[in-house]
Structure formats: C-alpha cells, structure tokens
Amino acid sequence: MASLWVLVLKELRDLLRDPHTLVMLLIPALVYSFMGEAAGSAIQQAVEQATSIKIFFVDWDGGVFAELLKSYVSRMAIVVENASKADAVIVIPASFTYNLSQYLQARVVARVKVEDVSIASLAIINTVREIISSFNSIVASILSGGKINRTDLVSVTVFATLPHKTLPAHVVESIYNTMFTLVLAPLIVAGYAAIISSASIAYEKEEKTLETLLTLPVPRTHIVVAKLVASLAAATLGTISTGFGVYWYTVKTLGLATPGSIGVVEVLGYKGLVSLLASTMTLLILTCVIGLFFGMLCQSVRGAQSLSGLVFMLVFAVGIPLLMSPLPPNPTARLLTALIPFSAPVIAVKAAIIEDNMLILATLASHIAYTLLLATYIAKIVSSEKLLLGIRLEHKLEKY
C-alpha cells in the first residue's frame, strides 16, 4: 500500500509540474463557460425578442371573431399599424368569423420576418404559433360556454420570410437542424486536424528524428508543407467519414430530418454547397497550420496534443453559439462576424441560406488571411534554430 501511495504522489507531482496540465485544467473552464454564456445569451435574446414580438394584422374578415383575435393577441404581443415595422404579419381570411360560428375550421396565415435561420427565428415562429393556437380555448368557451374543448378550430400556417425567399416554417426548422448536421463534421474534424498536424512535428522531436531531417538537402519549407499536406489529407478524409457518421446519427437514428423535409442542396443551393466545402477547407487549413505552430512550441507529443486540444474547444466555443445566434442585421456588423476565427463553415452556411455572397467571400478571405499570417511566422521559425530548440519564453523574458 505504501508503495502505491509513493507512485500516486510521483504521478501527481509529474502531472502538476507539467504546464500542459495546467492548460488542460484552466482553459476548458474558461472556454466552456464562455460558450455557455454566449449560447445562453443567444437563447435569452431569442426569448426576449419573442415576447416583445410586433404583429401587424391584415383583416379580410372584419367580423367579431377577427376583432376578438386581434384584441387577444394585443395582450400578448404588440400590435402595430405599419406592416414594415412588424416582425410578423397575420392574415385573417374573409370567412374567419363565419367558419368559426359554424364550428368549422378557420385558418389564418402568418408571415414571420426573419433575417436568417437562428434560434431566434425559431422562437418567433413558435411564439406566433402558440399565440394563435391558445386562441382556440377562447373560441371554444365563447361558442359553447366552455362545454366543448376543441383545439383545432383555429389553425395557423406559418411562413418565414427570409431576405430572399419565403419558406414554410417547418422547412426553416428543418434547415436549422440540417445546418447543425452540416457544420458539425467540419467543427469536429477541425480540432483533430490541429492535433494531427501538431503531433506530426512533435513526434519528430520526441523520436529524435527532427535533427537529422533539418540537415537534409531539402528546403525547410518543403518539410513543413509536406506535413501540412499530409495532415490536411487526413483531416479531409476525417471530415468525410465524420460527415457520414453525423448524418447517420442525426438523420437515421434521431430522425431529425424526416421524410418530406428538405435536403442539403435545397437548403443551400449548389453555390451554397460549394461555399460550405470551401469554408470547411479554409477552416481545416487554418487549424492544421495552428497545429503545426503548436507542434513547434512543444517538445513532446503529449504537450503538442494538449495544446492543440484547445483548438478543438475554441472551434466549438465559437461555432455553436454562432450557429444559434442570429446574424447582426447591420451589414457592416455582419461582415465583422466573418472576422471571427473558426467561424467559416457556420457563417458560410448561414450566408448561403440568406444568399449573402459578400459574407461568404468575407469569411473565406478572413480565414485565408489568418492562415497566411501564421504561415509567415512559421516560415520564420522554420528557417531559424527555434524549430530545434523550441520557442522558450524564458529566453525572451531574460532579454528584458
């Protein structure tokens, strides 16, 4: 027993003295609380927006039930007099009062204006739907004094009006799910790409093959580019297989996209599909290059992997809240979101849905720019002795 304790003590000391352990202990707490905060505020915002929703009525009926509906809605939402200021337009058909008084179904149509597909759009759609269906109990109590409880008299068909097209609400909901499915594979693999490429450099150090490699009659840049190409190839294959896995899980197992819902091409269009692929590649290249950089910082595979594990977390911390949140309505602010590192596939998919080509280009451009920036720094390291000796902070600090 005593020897076990001695061993445990040695393990703990070794772990706690390793700076990488500290990184693994501290950073996830920060990253995930940031992610929770961001996702939480997206949900919060969506809820707030949905409770203070502005509705404009087009009343072709003018009857008593139409008036009743309007006054009922005005208790739960803000009824506005100007269609352009409204979040949703509810159309009451001419036969509304007549149908209800005959115990027949009456159908209203709601058009919800959304900037893009986000949790906020889903919330507005849902609120409109709930307000109208809760009106059923009012109708029932008026018609029968509460004796019958029909909930199907008033039904609502909700459409979502995106900047460039109008879609049935269930399609928008399905797009939201499809979006998750589409970007999940790139987001998962992006982290692994960093881990693969960082290990490929750190492995050479750990196995003591780097020193020989660096004296071979080949340009140093070739050595690094070869590692980049190989990691990227592995990551691309990984994306494809993860994509299949995610598809299987969400579509076949969870049944998120049921028959009759729409396919990827319908959601994105071919141009959108291309931009998704392009943005996935730019993300993978960026994370591979970050991985190479981390590999250069570390002397062991363990260190390199734990450091690039951060990329894994960051990609999710950025991607998931971004996927849930609506894009900013302001065009300049929208372009600025394209500057967020690791945002590429999410932004590209969102931009493809609302057909914002500028945004697609901006997100591709920003990721390529980050990659080139880091690549120039890496090129500097590669041609110096830092690749062999490691980048030591102590030495830098000593100079000051």
Residue numbers of the site for another protein (CB under 8 A)?
A: 207-209, 211-212, 214-219, 384-385, 388-389, 392, 394-395, 398
Shortest distance in whole angstroms from residue 260 CB to another protein: 50
Q: In what order do the strands lie in the sheet with 78-79?
A: 78-79, 54-59, 88-92, 106-113, 154-161, 166-168
Q: Mind spelling out the 3-state secondary structure of 92-125?
A: ECCCHHHHHHCCCCEEEEEEEECCCCCHHHHHHH
Residue 202 in contact with residue 301, Cβ under 8 Å?
yes
Pairwise CA distance, residues 87 & 73, whole Å: 14
Q: Quick one: angle between helices 301-324 and 169-206, nearest 10? A: 170
Shortest distance in whole angstroms from residue 387 CB to another protein: 9
Calculate the alpha carbon distances from 324 to 120, 217, 316, 347 in Å. 8, 51, 12, 11
Shortest distance in whole angstroms from residue 193 CB to another protein: 21
Residue 61 in contact with residue 87, Cβ under 8 Å?
no
Shortest distance in whole angstroms from residue 220 CB to another protein: 9
Shortest distance in whole angstroms from residue 200 CB to another protein: 12
Other beta carbons within 10 angstroms of residue 89's beta carbon come to 19
Shortest distance in whole angstroms from residue 395 CB to another protein: 4
Q: Which lies closer to another protein via its Cβ, residue 218 or residue 265? A: 218
The tokens of 198 are what? 């960082």
Shortest distance in whole angstroms from residue 398 CB to another protein: 5
Closest CA to 306 of 18, 46, 65: 18
Q: Which lies closer to another protein via its Cβ, residue 358 or residue 389? A: 389
Residues 6+ apart with CB under 8 A from 284: 186, 189, 190, 193, 232, 235, 236, 239
Other beta carbons within 10 angstroms of residue 352's beta carbon come to 25
